[in-house]
Chains A and B, each alone.
Chain A
Amino acid sequence: MKSKLLTSVGLIAVSAVVLTGCSSGGGGGGSSAAASCTNEIVNKDAAQVTVWAWYPAFEAVVDNFNNTHDDVQVCWTNAGQGNDEYTKFSTSIESGSGAPDVIQLESEVLSSFSIRNALVDLTEFGANDIKDKFTPGSWEDASSGDAVYAIPVDGGPMGMLYRQDLFDAAGIAVPTTWEEFAVAAQQLKDAGTGGVLANFPTNGRAFNQALFAQAGSVPFTYDSAKPTDVGIEVNDQGAKDVLEYWDGLVKKDLVTTDDAFTADYNTSLVDGTYAVYLAAAWGPGYLQGLSDADPDAIWRAAPLPQWDAANPVQVNWGGSTFAVTEQAEDKANAAVVAKEIFGTDEAWKIGVEQSALFPSYVPMLESEYFANLEYPFFGGQQINKDVFLEAAAGYEGATFSPFQNYAYDQLTEELYSMVQGEQDGSQALDDLQETLTKYATDQGFKVN
């Protein structure tokens, strides 16, 4: 009780700091050379490019860039993570000023911003010359038709992180298919430890979408060359099958449906409540940053379970890019920053070791160093070689809608309604299809 209270007090304090940090960070950005930077500018006479990004340990990457470039310097600000940053960016697009020159965006929101003419097509600035340096899947995510709206940075090929100790205690073999996964879930429940095999968050957003994609779901088609056309098919059979599968597990109490990314969820991830963390390649870094971990935990990584073991499908959850904004005055220099800041092995060494990022940058992916990297958190397992490199190589890219945030919010509502027992998965996706089609029509799209 006391320790719980202390934890909650601590968490409140942290959240308070985070909140105030977010609200005071709004003034950053702007294209003026006088903008305040978090980092030290090495060459004060050079042109400065303002950058918003939230990567951990990013300052070292920025320093690396500034030390190796004489004519352009990066001025970096952390304007918040994910939606916090997007809200600020969106507001500055509307007001016509205040956006940075270069901005970190997840690939899923690129078309939401490109449709508002907020991003520069980087093909004019030689983006296609470096196309070969990135995995095809990540390049596909960052481009729309012939246009390239961002330079990929990191990706989230998915794998399965699991608790070897809990598996052994319950006598569970590592599942390679979803069928085996369901059996394992039953075994773990029968062992009566009180934990569950995994969690199925209704607010998983890109996570849920990735699970659908593994069964062949292609929810959206969109090409920025024809910005008023959008194809919506969120209720195809693949997605419905996936939902039916998870709904079955939920109904049998084999998995929980806690909201993801809350303090409760974070603790459940590391204290043994969930024996499996279906994760992207950035997941190990996320796990290591969590407190209250079970000290005896033995974590291992394995490939994501498959629907058809003979024809494995690799999927991706998350992943981010650097885009150049239309508000940038010096677009050429901004493009240099976007292309080169994570364009060297040195930068990527920092990215891999300190930020726990999974590169979309092929030279790093193909290096002996990366493949053989041993992770102490996984007892020295070479998780890249064992799991994630293959997952990254098999990923073919996805297309996101120009109203992805709305689509995800609606998906969350429908999934929540499903796990509450108000409707089945098939109905949930049919409703989603109807809602999104109506929304897109209201927004002036021609829906195919």
Chain B
Amino acid sequence: MALTTTSPRTAPPQPSVSRKVGVDKIDRKRQRWGWLFVGPFALVFLGFLIVPLAYAFWMSLQTSTLAAGTQFTWFANYGKAFTDPIFLEGLGRVGRFAIVMIPAQMLVALAAAMVLDNLTTVLSKFSRLMIFVPYAVPGVIGALMWGFLYSPRFGPGSDIFSLFGLDAPSFLSQDNIFGALVNIVTWQWSGYYMIIIYAALRGVDSSVYEAARLDGANSWQIALRVKLPMISSSMVMVLIFSLIGTLQFFTEPQVLRAVAQGAIPVSYTPNMYAYSLAFSYSQFNYASAISFSLGIVVFIGSYLFLFLTRKQNGLK
């Protein structure tokens, strides 16, 4: 009895040791293959992201002026950036864009996704595609197109407003440019976010709705009390996407600037400021510092947000 009880106890370590050796060998082999598979990506990642980033960071530590040449100044450029009224003003502006634009996009996307989720006709497939189409239009082309739609001469604005006996507002004036840009971005991105939310809705087991219905919930209640909480992690993801995108706002104002140079100055958003510093004013070093400063703000913003919504986003 004692034998039978001890032998199983002592026996197991034997194979486990040999297995451990075997696992190590296999693991190492696997790892080697793993590296081989990761290799191509790692090379591109290093060459086109890490190295340029490191180089840009190195550049941002130097100060170069037109008249005095280049000096290594550590973090002086960052001090200058975070006290630069133009940069701060740009940050404030994209902040305002975030406050208006993100809810607008999410509401449109959520409403469209909810409606499409309830429809089961051929029309729903068609509508889904049509809502998504703006996202398939490249950003530059979309902005150019809107530039013409906003144009007092080529756009339909004057025709539409004259139907009601009104004068069309000047969409590209200083007062209206904010709304004009919000409109373009919402048009462009809502379809994409709609697809994300729609996919999340499809992933919800429909028996949940059935149960809710049996408990006497109406459609509104199902939508707001059942569906919305169940897809909250997708909503957080959409929010993060649009937050990062908005803080890096560039393409639309840069393209519209061609037709509204007064209303959209070169430093309208931090990214535009960095671009013009580098490519119009040849201040590559300070432009790098501005870019990194913006990166820091985006990182802190996103991190804070994810931390605050940790219950909803499923990260905890």
Interface residue ranges, A against B (CB under 8 Å): 1, 4-5, 7-8, 11-12, 15-16, 19, 83, 87, 90-91, 93-94, 112, 115-116, 202-203, 227-228, 259, 262-264, 267-268, 402-403, 405-406, 409, 412-413, 415-416, 419-420, 442-446
A90–B281 alpha-carbon span in the complex (Å): 9
Contact A1 B282 (CB under 8 A): no
- Looking at the assembled complex, report how far the CB atom of A59 sits from the nearest CB atom of chain B, in whole angstroms: 27
Does B261 reach chain A (CB closer than 8 Å)?
A: yes
Q: Which of chain B's residues have a CB closer than 8 A to the CB of A7?
A: 154
Contact B279 A91 (CB under 8 A): yes
Q: Which of chain A's residues have a CB closer than 8 A to the CB of B145?
A: 12
Interface-side segment among B13-21, B61-69, B193-201 = B61-69
| Contact A264 B153, CB 8 Å, known A12-B141, A202-B261, A203-B262 | yes
Closest residue of chain B to A445 (Cβ to Cβ) is B67
A443–B69 alpha-carbon span in the complex (Å): 9
- Looking at the assembled complex, report how far the CB atom of A428 sits from the nearest CB atom of chain B, in whole angstroms: 12
Q: Among A5, A267, A443, point to the contact of B65 (Cβ < 8 A).
A: A443
Q: Among B149, B174, B281, point to the contact of A406 (Cβ < 8 A).
A: B281
Closest residue of chain A to B281 (Cβ to Cβ) is A406
Q: Among B144, B263, B284, point to the contact of A16 (Cβ < 8 A).
A: B144
Contact A228 B68 (CB under 8 A): yes
The main secondary structure of chain A at its interface with chain B is: helix
Closest residue of chain A to B138 (Cβ to Cβ) is A16
- Looking at the assembled complex, report how far the CB atom of A10 sits from the nearest CB atom of chain B, in whole angstroms: 10
Q: Which of chain A's residues have a CB closer than 8 A to the CB of B69?
A: 444
Which range contains the number of B residues in contact with the other chain? 20 to 34
A415–B174 alpha-carbon span in the complex (Å): 13
Residues 251-290 (chain B) with a chain A CB within 8 angstroms: 258-263, 265-266, 276, 279-282, 284
Contact B282 A90 (CB under 8 A): yes
Subset of 16 A-B contacts with CB under 8 Å: A12-B148, A16-B141, A87-B280, A93-B282, A115-B66, A259-B259, A259-B260, A262-B258, A263-B148, A263-B259, A264-B153, A403-B281, A413-B265, A420-B174, A443-B66, A443-B68
Contact A444 B65 (CB under 8 A): yes
Closest residue of chain B to A258 (Cβ to Cβ) is B152
| Contact A8 B151, CB 8 Å, known A259-B261, A262-B258, A409-B266 | yes
Contact with A along B151-174 (1 / 0, CB 8 A): 111111001000000000000001
Q: Which of chain B's residues have a CB closer than 8 A to the CB of A403?
A: 66, 281
| Contact A8 B148, CB 8 Å, known A116-B282, A203-B261 | yes
Closest residue of chain A to B152 (Cβ to Cβ) is A264
- Looking at the assembled complex, report how far the CB atom of A66 sits from the nearest CB atom of chain B, in whole angstroms: 33
- Looking at the assembled complex, report how far the CB atom of A200 sits from the nearest CB atom of chain B, in whole angstroms: 12
A262–B150 alpha-carbon span in the complex (Å): 13
A15–B152 alpha-carbon span in the complex (Å): 18
Does B46 reach chain A (CB closer than 8 Å)?
A: no
Q: Which of chain A's residues have a CB closer than 8 A to the CB of B67?
A: 115, 227-228, 443-446
A386–B221 alpha-carbon span in the complex (Å): 80
- Looking at the assembled complex, report how far the CB atom of A20 sits from the nearest CB atom of chain B, in whole angstroms: 10
Tell me the number of A-to-B contacts counted with CB atoms below 8 Å.
Answer: 102
| Contact A264 B154, CB 8 Å, known A12-B144, A409-B265 | yes
| Contact A405 B259, CB 8 Å, known A228-B67, A263-B151 | no
Does B133 reach chain A (CB closer than 8 Å)?
A: no
Does B36 reach chain A (CB closer than 8 Å)?
A: no
- Looking at the assembled complex, report how far the CB atom of A356 sits from the nearest CB atom of chain B, in whole angstroms: 24
Q: Which of chain B's residues have a CB closer than 8 A to the CB of A443?
A: 65-68
Q: Which of chain A's residues have a CB closer than 8 A to the CB of B155?
A: 4, 8
Q: Which of chain A's residues have a CB closer than 8 A to the CB of B49?
A: none
Does B300 reach chain A (CB closer than 8 Å)?
A: no
A93–B259 alpha-carbon span in the complex (Å): 29
- Looking at the assembled complex, report how far the CB atom of B51 sits from the nearest CB atom of chain A, in whole angstroms: 14
Does B50 reach chain A (CB closer than 8 Å)?
A: no
Q: Which of chain A's residues have a CB closer than 8 A to the CB of B154?
A: 4, 7-8, 11, 263-264
- Looking at the assembled complex, report how far the CB atom of B314 sits from the nearest CB atom of chain A, in whole angstroms: 40
| Contact A90 B66, CB 8 Å, known A262-B259, A263-B151, A264-B154 | no
Does B119 reach chain A (CB closer than 8 Å)?
A: no
Closest residue of chain A to B283 (Cβ to Cβ) is A443
- Looking at the assembled complex, report how far the CB atom of B158 sits from the nearest CB atom of chain A, in whole angstroms: 9
- Looking at the assembled complex, report how far the CB atom of B228 sits from the nearest CB atom of chain A, in whole angstroms: 39
Contact A83 B262 (CB under 8 A): no
- Looking at the assembled complex, report how far the CB atom of B213 sits from the nearest CB atom of chain A, in whole angstroms: 47
- Looking at the assembled complex, report how far the CB atom of B175 sits from the nearest CB atom of chain A, in whole angstroms: 9
Contact A259 B262 (CB under 8 A): yes
Q: Among B65, B140, B258, point to the contact of A442 (Cβ < 8 A).
A: B65
Contact with A along B176-211 (1 / 0, CB 8 A): 000000000000000000000000000000000000
A419–B156 alpha-carbon span in the complex (Å): 26
| Contact A94 B284, CB 8 Å, known A12-B144, A115-B66, A262-B258 | yes
Q: Which of chain B's residues have a CB closer than 8 A to the CB of A412?
A: 261-262, 265
A15–B143 alpha-carbon span in the complex (Å): 11
Contact B262 A416 (CB under 8 A): yes
Q: Which of chain A's residues have a CB closer than 8 A to the CB of B259?
A: 259, 262-264
Q: Among A11, A94, A116, point to the contact of B66 (Cβ < 8 A).
A: A116
A444–B65 alpha-carbon span in the complex (Å): 6
* 8 smallest beta-carbon distances between A and B, as pairs: A444-B68, A416-B262, A444-B67, A444-B65, A8-B148, A203-B261, A228-B67, A8-B154
